[in-house]
Structure 1
Amino acid sequence: MKNELDSKFLLQVFDKIRQHGSKNDEHYQLNGITAYTDLDGYTLFVEDANVKLQFGFHNQYHFDYDSKAHFEVFEKRLMQIDKEY
């Protein structure tokens, strides 16, 4: 996930968060990561306190974060979820 987002990985992690996380309204939380979709389900949102990822139609995505260190922590959390569940 350094320069290019692996869409298969992201979708897999998103599904694991929905399956194993706690649900609050339409948001799912697991290991400090929140995952949800927009109303039509075409755009996925995966975020923690410092990084926001928006993943949409045709594999378009956008990261929003202030520092590389925040992104690295976010990336490690996603990998941890993928390994643990």
Structure 2
Amino acid sequence: MKNELDSKFLLQVFDKIRQHGSKEGDEYKLMGITAFTDHDGYTLYIEDVNVKLRFGFHNQYHFDYDSSDHYDSFEKKLKQIDKTY
């Protein structure tokens, strides 16, 4: 399965989740999406209940999910956050 989310888009959505989401510990939550970083801030994590995205150094990212339907739903949530905020 090929995932083609733009790095700029991912960073933009991550920032919107941090700005507009509710903070719970070190995590920010908005519209069913959770966003947080590792301890040094170099790796970003964006996830929902079915999909985990790790975005790190040199704009490399990795998705972990079981079905393309889960990925499609996750992508729609990210696009909705970007559009709404």
What TM-score results when the alignment is normalised by the length of structure 1?
0.96
CA displacement 1:19-42 (0-9 Å, x = unmatched): 000000010000000000000000
1:36 aligns to 2:21 (yes or no): no
Residue 32 of structure 2 aligns with an amino acid whose one-letter code is: G
Please give the alpha-carbon distance, in whole angstroms, between the structure 2 residues aligned to 1:60 and 1:67: 21
The residue identity in structure 2 corresponding to 1:23 is: K
* 4-13 vs 49-58, greater mean Cα deviation: 4-13
Q: Which amino acid aligns with 2:58?
A: H
CA distance in 2: counterparts of 1:17 and 1:23, whole angstroms: 10
Q: Secondary structure at the match of 2:36?
A: strand
- SS where residue 41 of structure 2 aligns? coil
Task: Give the Cα separation in 1 of the matches to 2:79 and 2:18.
Answer: 15
Residue 70 of structure 1 pairs with residue 70 of structure 2: yes
Which consecutive residues of structure 2, in runs of 5 or more, have no partner in the other structure?
Answer: none
How many pairs are equivalent?
84
Distance 1:12 1:43 in 2: 15
Deviations 1:39-79 (A, max 9, x none): 00000000000000000000111000000000000000000
TM-score by length of 2: 0.96
User: Unpaired runs of 5+ in structure 1?
Assistant: none
Matched with 1:52 is 52
Amino acid in the other structure paired with 2:16: K
